[in-house]
Amino acid sequence: MIAALTAAGVPACEIPGLFVGKSHESSALDAALRERPVGAALKWQGGIPSPLFASLRLALTALRHPRQVPVGVVLAALLPRGPFSTEPLKDTVRQIVPDGWVGHPNLWLMATDLDTGERVAFGREGAPNAHLAEAVAASCAIPGFYHPVTIDGRTFVDGGCWSPANLDVLEPLKLDVVICLNPTSSLERSKRWRDSLSNVYRNASGRQLAWEAHKLRRTGTRIVLFQPSIEALLVMGTNLMRSDDLELITDVARESVAQQLLTPDYRACVAVLRKLAGADRPSAPRRARRVASKAIGRISAASGRPARAQTSKTA
């Protein structure tokens, strides 16, 4: 949702307010959208929820080839189809982009095919054609909670079933710097007993994230990870779908990210991005490359890895 809104041109400064229902009156967003938090309305899908597996076909595939299907995808197949509709999510996106896709060339929205277990990146070449609203809904369709989304005759659920971050899809691109926001993991742990289940999930998410980040770093890509601080964890709690205290959660998250940005390696990464963005301009390529190389060296010093300056347009 956030990626789609950003790619559609919604200013980053307005997105937090949009989520808590406090967007600026001067915003170009529809007034009805400004009056309520994004996706906060839950709508019953209709009919009687089925207690059966969401996908018997995928469950049987996982049984025959257990090592080829991620655990999250197996759970998505075994859980019943969620009772809540994704229409409120689609309506939110349609306020910004009524139909079709967004103009940004690098927006990929991750979803999982509920019949085959295949991971699909909507927006990437070869993916099924989809309207932006449909792709956002599919990428947000949490198994067992939201009803799966049908696109081009195929049924999709949240891409987080395959991987919480999906960092590894970027491995072939050989990027200079990747910035990853992963709210489902953390370097810290809550000691409250009611957060025990959440800690287990975050541990699993963190291990998956670490493995994918390791694979990406082997290609020479620098990675900056943003994960919730202990203060954010205590405020967020275990229910990732809660709709109360959104303003408090947003404020704590903003402060947490601001503190992480003050550390030397994060500041160095920002310097790299700023300088590499103009490195292909004839007026200042040499200076930009020198500054970028120096900044990358600072990242290397912080991470203990050898420096290697890269100045491609994919940075």
State pLDDT tens for residues 119-168: 999 999 999 999 999 999 999 999 999 999 999 999 999 999 999 999 99
The single-letter DSSP state of residue 80 is P
State pLDDT tens for residues 162-216: 999 999 999 999 888 888 999 889 888 888 888 888 888 899 999 999 999 999 9
Alpha-carbon distance 180 to 227, whole Å? Answer: 9
Alpha-carbon distance 240 to 197, whole Å? Answer: 12
Of 27, 58, 37, 310, nearest in space to 162 by CA: 58
Alpha-carbon distance 18 to 183, whole Å? Answer: 18
The pTM is what? 0.80
In this structure, what is the dihedral angle of CA atoms 106, 109, 114, 116, given to the nearest 10 degrees?
20
Alpha-carbon distance 140 to 64, whole Å? Answer: 28
* HEC letters along 119-177: EEEECCCCCCCCCHHHHHHHHHCCCCCECCEEECCEEEEEHHHCCCCCHHHHHHHCCCE
Alpha-carbon distance 118 to 24, whole Å? Answer: 40
Region 63-89: what's the mean pLDDT? 91
Of 92, 90, 88, 91, nearest in space to 10 by CA: 92
CB 45, CB 85: distance < 8 Å:
yes
CB 136, CB 146: distance < 8 Å:
no
Mean pLDDT of the chain: 81
pLDDT of residue 315: 35
**Residue 237: left (phi > 0), alpha (psi -120 to 50), or beta?**
left
State pLDDT tens for residues 222-256: 888 889 988 888 888 887 777 778 788 888 888 88
| pLDDT at 10 > cutoff 50 | yes
Which stretches does DSSP call E strand in the chain?
Answer: 43-44, 84-85, 109-113, 119-122, 149-151, 154-158, 177-181, 222-226
